[in-house]
């Protein structure tokens, strides 16, 4: 018999939780590492429990949504052919070919930042970078930047409110953008742009082309993941480096250390808070009995700070923690876009650190943290100065 879920162990949407999610998750990991709530259902806070879920996809299925989710919401063997289609888009060669475009976008954005006066990192930098880089990678027009920016905000509001009607309307809106992109390429026929979107339309799965429903689901998952997590990641990185100027200077002098440093900072402060699974059979985790058909929330933001794995979760130890960092997950559902995200963040930080002389919180203004299900910041006022650009 399962534990009685009618008595919540915690309230994930309580003000004290949303006001400081990191503190709340650290506390729950110690006091109640497997917890029930009406909002998240069963939540796993410990690294070991999350690893168990990630490594046992037969017991903990990714098909936790009632809607088609390609490939995130699929399990092997159904999941496998879609992953085989997707992974070449994030190969070393693909990343090398896209890096100059990424660097140009990053450099232009850095150079556009105001010097000496407070500005919001989110509005002027992190969100703009995520939008521009996603559209460039997919081959989408610049005219989609603003509609997608508004769409991301609406999607977050609907998800936070658990407003199913609003969520359906937001999904339908995105489907319309994708329909127009696909139809424009079909109309163009041989003159269609040779970009990632066109290439995906020509892929086959199990010997057949993907349906528009599959393509739309795939592109929605890519876009939601990219826009939300990249923007959150940039805000987390700049906030941390503003608080640790010695590390910022060290990384500016040694950019080869950037990849590990970026992953470590994002281990401590997660850009992606959680993912979901569903149990396929009765199971016991952390002394709690969970029946089949129950939704599980795996909390990256807690698992990646587990003291039993990382020691002091706030200690900056990139080499020590590298192999156990779950920033991009692990197992069959490890994030296929991790090479793209890592390249984008590395290039952006290279450009930022090579140009910016000082970086500090804006005086008399307070940052605002984003709230579940989003990590990072929703408002991050900063002030910076640039190095001399003589000779550029």
How far apart CA 272 and CA 301 sit, in angstroms, is 7
Residue 294 lies in a domain: yes
Q: What is the pLDDT of residues 197-218, one digit of tens each?
A: 999 999 999 999 999 999 999 9
Does residue 83 contact residue 70 with C-beta atoms inside 8 Å? no
- For residue 28, the tally of other CB atoms under 10 A from its CB is 21
pLDDT for residue 160:
72
Residue 281 lies in a domain: yes
Residue 130 lies in a domain: yes
Place of tokens 């009618």: 6
pLDDT for residue 223:
87
Please tell me whether residue 309 adopts helix, strand or coil conformation.
helix
Distances (CA, A) of 371 to 32, 38, 124, 274, 379: 21, 17, 20, 12, 11
Angle in degrees, 0-180, between the axes of helices 258-268 and 245-253, rounded to the nearest 10: 150
Residue 2 lies in a domain: no
How far apart CA 364 and CA 215 sit, in angstroms, is 47
Residue 22 lies in a domain: yes
Q: What is the pLDDT of residues 297-344, one digit of tens each?
A: 999 999 999 999 999 999 999 999 999 999 999 999 999 999 999 999
pLDDT for residue 158:
79
Q: What is the pLDDT of residues 15-50, one digit of tens each?
A: 999 999 999 999 999 999 999 999 999 999 999 999
pLDDT under 50 in the chain at which residues? 1-2, 390-392
Could you give the number of structural domains in the chain? 1
Residue 346 lies in a domain: yes
Distances (CA, A) of 350 to 2, 16, 28, 234, 317: 51, 36, 37, 12, 20
Does residue 13 contact residue 275 with C-beta atoms inside 8 Å? no
Range of the domain at 272: 15-386
Does residue 24 contact residue 371 with C-beta atoms inside 8 Å? no
Reported pTM: 0.94
Residue 151 lies in a domain: yes
pLDDT for residue 74:
94
Find the CATH number of the domain harbouring 129. Answer: 1.10.630.10
Distances (CA, A) of 373 to 61, 86, 268, 276, 368: 20, 25, 17, 11, 15
Residue 392 lies in a domain: no
């Amino acid at each position: 018999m399962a534990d009685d879920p009618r008595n919540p162990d915690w309230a994930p949407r309580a003000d004290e939780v949303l006001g400081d999610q990191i503190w709340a998750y650290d506390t729950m990991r110690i006091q109640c590492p497997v917890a029930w709530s009406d909002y998240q259902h069963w939540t796993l806070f410990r690294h070991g429990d999350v690893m168990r879920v990630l490594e046992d996809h037969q017991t903990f299925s990714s098909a936790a949504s009632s809607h088609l989710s390609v490939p995130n919401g699929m399990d092997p063997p159904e999941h496998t052919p879609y992953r085989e289609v997707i992974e070449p888009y994030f190969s070393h060669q693909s990343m090398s070919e896209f890096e100059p475009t990424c660097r140009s976008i990053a450099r232009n954005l850095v150079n556009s930042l105001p010097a000496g006066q407070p500005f919001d990192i989110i509005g002027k930098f992190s969100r703009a970078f995520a939008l521009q880089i996603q559209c460039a990678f997919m081959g989408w027009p610049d005219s989609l930047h603003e509609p997608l920016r508004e769409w991301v905000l609406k999607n977050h509001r609907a998800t936070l409110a658990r407003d199913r009607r609003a969520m359906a309307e937001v999904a339908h809106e995105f489907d319309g953008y994708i329909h127009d992109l696909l139809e424009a390429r079909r109309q163009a026929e041989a003159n269609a742009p040779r970009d990632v979107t066109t290439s995906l339309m020509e892929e086959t799965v199990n010997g057949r082309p993907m349906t528009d429903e599959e393509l739309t689901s795939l592109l929605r998952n890519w876009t939601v993941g990219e826009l939300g997590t990249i923007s959150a990641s940039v805000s987390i990185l700049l906030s941390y480096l503003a608080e640790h100027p010695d590390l910022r200077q060290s990384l500016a002098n040694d950019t080869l250390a950037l990849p590990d440093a970026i992953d470590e900072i994002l281990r401590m402060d997660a850009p992606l808070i959680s993912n979901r699974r569903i149990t396929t059979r009765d199971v016991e985790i952390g002394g709690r009995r969970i029946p089949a058909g129950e939704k599980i929330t795996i909390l990256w933001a807690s698992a990646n700070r587990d003291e039993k794995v990382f020691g002091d979760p706030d200690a900056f130890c990139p080499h020590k923690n590298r192999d156990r960092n779950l920033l991009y997950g692990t197992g069959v559902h490890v994030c296929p876009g991790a090479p793209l995200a890592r390249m984008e963040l590395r290039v952006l930080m290279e450009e930022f650190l090579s140009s910016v002389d000082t970086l500090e919180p804006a005086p008399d203004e307070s940052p605002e943290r984003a709230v579940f299900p989003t990590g990072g910041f929703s408002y991050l006022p900063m002030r910076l100065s640039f190095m001399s650009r003589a000779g550029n």
